[in-house]
Amino acid sequence: GAYGFGEYGRNISSGNVAGVYRLYKNGVGCGACYQVRRTTNSQICTKKGVNVVVTDYGQGDNTDFILSHHAYEAMARPGTADRMFAYGVVDVEYQRVPCQYVGHKIQVKVHEYSRKPDYLAIIMLYQAGKSDILSVDIWQQGKWVEMRRSFGAVFDMPNPPLGAISLRFKVQDNAGIKWPKAVIPRNWKAGVAYDTDIQLQ
């Protein structure tokens, strides 16, 4: 969708995903996690609600979240999903919560749009914690050069460096700004996700 996550954006968190409008933040909101729960009718809805990962942009009917079918159903008590679906739009409350991906650190995926050696686009997957990735820099000709936020969570640049590619991320979390670094191997390929040692909090 609008964030560029592709299949990852449909299947992450067991399909408990959402599109957002106000929380999009020009793409910075991509990958954030929220606890969403209905504020009325405790006979149908659980107190815990559902934790969702923001993977798309959407608006309509003055909504903050457009939940996937699976996530919407997860807000309901067992056996009451049909009654939930009959409402369509419901009042909710929500809060930002840390994303948790057991067994995963951040992956840098070379987006399918990339064309070696003329064009590189990347997107970060498994963005844990409550951190926001504000920007991405690439090491080119002896200095850090900021990549363009192409759309959503996708960063790109024409004519990327040859060989292995060094990146750094400007990350905002509760402790302030951090600059973790990662490397994409010289033989990178479009559509492939590469592991990093980066674990955000």
**Domain finish residue from 68, 96, 124:** 96
Q: What would the pLDDT profile of 18-37 be if each residue is shown by its tens digit?
A: 999 999 999 999 999 999 99
Residue 60 pLDDT class (50, 70, 90 cuts): confident
pLDDT given at position 176: 86
Mean pLDDT of the chain: 94
> Which two three-digit tokens encode residue 141?
């000709």
Instruction: Count the domains in the chain.
Output: 2
Whether 69 and 142 share a structural domain:
no
User: CA neighbours within 13 Å on the CB side: how many for 82?
Assistant: 1
Full residue range of the structural domain in which residue 81 is found: 7-96
Residue 59 pLDDT class (50, 70, 90 cuts): confident
HEC states along 131-175?
A: CEEEEEEEEECCEEEECEEEECCEEEEECCCCCCEEEEEEEEECC
Whether 20 and 92 share a structural domain:
yes
pLDDT given at position 173: 80
Q: Is the pLDDT assigned to residue 190 strictly greater than 90?
A: yes
Q: What would the pLDDT profile of 162-177 be if each residue is shown by its tens digit?
A: 999 999 999 988 778 9
Q: What would the pLDDT profile of 73-126 be if each residue is shown by its tens digit?
A: 999 999 999 999 998 889 999 999 999 999 999 999 999 999 999 999 999 999
pTM across the whole model: 0.92
Q: How far apart are CA 87 and CA 155, in angstroms?
A: 38
Question: Tokens 């302030």 label which residue?
Answer: 176
Whether 80 and 133 share a structural domain:
no
> Which two three-digit tokens encode residue 163?
């060989």
Contact predicate 16/53, CB 8 Å: yes
